Amino acid sequence: QVPFPLTDLRSPEIYKTIGNDNGQFSVLILPLGFNSGNVALGKSPIGSLQYFQVIHKHPSFRGTVARLPAATFDYYRNLPLIKYLIDPSKTPDEEDLDSIQAYATIKNQLNVGHIIIHKNKYEGETYKKVQEVLERTLPLEFISEDEKTISYKLK
């Protein structure tokens, strides 16, 4: 028996698929989280999720970056739908559920092309609530699901 937990860095297959797409887009990896060393926002740090960027080769909204100004965190904390994804224990507000505002944020402002939900990184079945909000709010094309992930392409 190992005395402390180990990190499994085997990449879900979807990241290899996304890595083969030469399009110009970002990947939204959930649960969402940012950390500056002084401030944590959302579910952070989960270094393995940041590591998968090496496989998918596109910009991603998650990570640890030292000494970010507070305004950077405020920016994400106020974006429609993103603010809910940062803390899905709260109820999404009207702005989060407004399809037009959510799409404008996710697709037009953040240039998201793919969304990956890591089911095993949420507490309990919170990922199902996140999945429901995303499917209700955004035009998504279901790509795949395995024991750890659910993936979508944003239309």
pLDDT tens-digit profile of 100-137?
999 999 999 999 999 999 999 999 999 999 999 999 99
Is residue 30 classed as helix, strand or coil in its secondary structure? strand
Q: What's the rounded mean pLDDT across residues 60-73?
A: 82
Task: Convert the pLDDT of each residue in 10-49 to its tens digit.
Answer: 899 999 999 999 999 999 999 998 888 788 888 866 778 8
Give residue 32's pLDDT. 93
Higher pLDDT, 9 or 111: 111
Of 4 and 99, the structure prediction assigns the larger pLDDT to 99
The model's pTM: 0.92
Pick left, alpha or beta for residue 15 (phi over 0 → left; psi -120 to 50 → alpha; otherwise beta): alpha
- Pairing status of strand 26-30 against strand 112-118: parallel
